[in-house]
Amino acid sequence: MGYYHASSQHGTLSLAFDLLARVGQILMLQFRRLWRSGRNGRNRRRIKLLLKIAIPLFVLYLIDLPIHLYRTRVVRPDQDLDQPFATGCLDPSVMAAQPRENATFVMLARNSEAEDARSTVLNIEWQFNRWFHYPILFLNDVSWTEDFKEVLSRAVSNETEVRFEVIEKGKWGFPEEMNEKEKTKAKLQMKKQGEKGISYGDMESYHHMCRFYSGEFYNLEALRPYKWYWRLEPNVRYSCALTYDPFAEMAKRNKVYGWTIALWEMGETCPSLFKTTDDYRIEKGIPRTPAWNALYQVMWYPAPVRWFLGFFGVPEHDNSGIKWNMCHYWSNFEIANLDFFRSDKYQDYFRYLDSKGGFYSERWGDAPVHTLAVHMLLPPEKIHHFSDIGYEHDTLWQCPGNAPMDQQLLGNKAFGDTGKMTAPSEGGTGCRCKCQEDKRRRNINSQCTSELTRPAAHHRPSWWQRHNGYYHYAVNNPNNPSQG
């Protein structure tokens, strides 16, 4: 979870930059002093010596830089590998009659969140599930109250199944193998995070939640019957009608992971996560791919500086000293294939992370963990951006432009009265979207969206567009309503 880009300031990183700047400054000052001091033979010999040192170093840098950029490039595919599953509205009564997938909604909630959970359920029922009737599974780490169950059971349509499950022992909380001494240490580390002002750093239940959603969640008995899940959160809003079955489309198009919002993680929450993941990648012999390289921030430093950053384990850098761009998918919305997260390769990665203790010594979130795993283990064509879904959570949201009016199926009886919708826009894909029009941005900054979709994008923002802060709303769709 993250709201903005907040790179940490670290002593070793500052030292590297200071040393590099100081060496360059010394060389330039010496050269200028010698050049101005006279034309005698001694000074000319010093100038020649200085040039003999500086010129080869500069040549080596010119050789190293293109090699480094080539190795970390994000190869452009021959065609766009991801597109919206639909443009505008489809007839929901026709689409709901098609074969269904073995799927469920999942919401982790507290008993005290009954009204917020009800708000979400009423909204998703109206925008989608009143036609498709996929079951909704509610999870809690304690027993449900009768009041919560009654309120939520009344919020769904008659044909929608609702289940209320308690997370089984061993799936929530500290790892079972942790002893009391280790738990005490973890609690002290969480307390220190709170003292540093790290968001949710001193909230033990939040750490448990991040660990749970990172791995234990997928092995729940309650989820065992299903192949697909759609994650819901209390008090979120879907602002567009969804008239096709996303589970069926994901299966049909061989997709594995679907998302709506990409943004920067807060660096202080997980300073060692990227290097730890890179350690795992190297240990398992997993090669760098275009998807993995999309996680890199372009670096122009010469090789010795990168080696320094990697050798000393500078936060947010991998073993070769390349910085993570901090972009990740906001996992409070996910539509994904459970088989991937249950697989040996993902579960092995999660157990490796769990053994390092970062879910408590730091505040490793499930969102960056999922993102790093998806980009390490999946090819780009398996990842889908639901750019046609309007989604709002907290202060961030995605709301696509509406498709033209002739694609809104006005008068279709299956919709009923959906009220006034946002005016269509060029490149719009949405179905009867109602976007909030106020002083806030209609969509979050699309830089991370653009960065993470590059492996799937043949059509990309130009260098000049990126330089001027203009990023595409989705693959092959430059018409971001937030830019208008």
pLDDT at 416: 86
What is the three-class DSSP state of 103? strand
Distance CA 117, CA 100 (A): 25
Q: What is the mean pLDDT of the chain?
A: 88
- pLDDT band of 469, cuts 50, 70, 90: confident
Average pLDDT over residues 317-321: 93
CA distances (Å), origin 139, targets 104, 106, 258: 12, 7, 21
What is the three-class DSSP state of 480? coil
**% of the chain with per-residue pLDDT over 70:** 87
Is pLDDT at 11 greater than 50 in this prediction? no
Who wins on pLDDT, 55 or 251?
251
HSE-CB at 229 with a 13 A cutoff on CA atoms is: 27
**% of the chain with per-residue pLDDT over 90:** 68
Contact 263, 451 (CB under 8 A): no
Query: CA torsion angle for 216, 221, 227, 230 (degrees, to 10)?
Result: -60
Catalytic residue among 125, 316, 334, 451: 334
How is residue 159 written in tokens?
A: 């044909």
Per residue in 183-196, pLDDT (tens digit) is 999 999 999 999 99
Is pLDDT at 282 greater than 90 in this prediction? yes
pLDDT at 135: 98
Contact 271, 8 (CB under 8 A): yes
- pLDDT band of 162, cuts 50, 70, 90: very high
Give the DSSP H/E element, type plus range, for residue 36: helix 11-37
Average pLDDT over residues 416-423: 83
Is pLDDT at 410 greater than 70 in this prediction? yes
pLDDT at 384: 98
pTM: 0.88
Who wins on pLDDT, 113 or 25?
113
Is pLDDT at 336 greater than 90 in this prediction? yes
Average pLDDT over residues 205-220: 97
pLDDT at 429: 92
pLDDT at 397: 85
Who wins on pLDDT, 50 or 334?
334
Who wins on pLDDT, 59 or 168?
168
Residue type, 21: A
pLDDT at 38: 53
Beta bridge partners of 263: 328
Is pLDDT at 14 greater than 70 in this prediction? no
Per residue in 356-394, pLDDT (tens digit) is 999 999 999 999 999 999 999 999 999 999 999 999 998
Per residue in 427-451, pLDDT (tens digit) is 899 999 998 765 455 556 678 999 9
Is pLDDT at 25 greater than 70 in this prediction? no
pLDDT at 4: 37
Average pLDDT over residues 4-14: 42
How many angstroms separate the most distant Cα atoms in the chain?
A: 97
Examine the residue annotation and report whether 334 is marked as an active-site residue of this protein.
yes
Give the DSSP H/E element, type plus range, for residue 334: strand 334-337
Residue type, 354: D
Per residue in 136-145, pLDDT (tens digit) is 999 999 999 9
